[in-house]
Amino acid sequence: KALLQSIKDHFGDGLSWADLIILAGSAALEDMGGREVRICPGRSDVSAEDAAAGSMYLDPTIYLNPENATASDLKRSMRIMNFTAREMTVLNGGGHAIGKAHKSKSGFEGPWTHAPTTLSNGFFQ
């Protein structure tokens, strides 16, 4: 949020946080070599109270503990969210192709690939 605050301040109510986050994420993916993403603006923001109330519909079992989660746990989590095996593979591989592992979360520190700022299939190689 801190990185986007100045943009939000500049556009004020004319740009929702929801649209700004989608725009920023899409721009980041494009910057890393992903395809151009067409943006369809018009999302509205909800209050923190409404957001918290909406979260009660999320299934808490989709969140996995990286210390002991198995492939079966991941598959079950993705089935709950109605992802296909192909979509699950794309999310897992794409998510690991960029960025790095954090010791506090996974026990490992460092990038997953040789080019952690480029969207690629490097995680699978």
Please, which pLDDT band fits residue 86 given cuts at 50, 70 and 90?
very high
**How far is residue 98 CA from its own chain's centroid?**
11
> Per-residue pLDDT averaged across 2-14, rounded?
94
Output the pTM of the full model.
Answer: 0.69
**Residue 110, beta-bridge partner list:** 101
**How far is residue 16 CA from its own chain's centroid?**
19
More confident: 2 or 105: 2
Please, which pLDDT band fits residue 92 given cuts at 50, 70 and 90?
confident
**Residue 101, beta-bridge partner list:** 110
Report pLDDT digits (tens) over 43-78. Answer: 999 888 887 777 777 777 788 887 788 989 988 988
pLDDT at 25: 93
pLDDT at 30: 92
Query: Which whole-number Å values give the CA distances from 117 to 32, 57, 91, 95, 121, in the listed order?
Result: 6, 34, 16, 11, 12
Closest CA to 97 of 109, 111, 85: 111
Closest CA to 43 of 63, 26, 62: 26
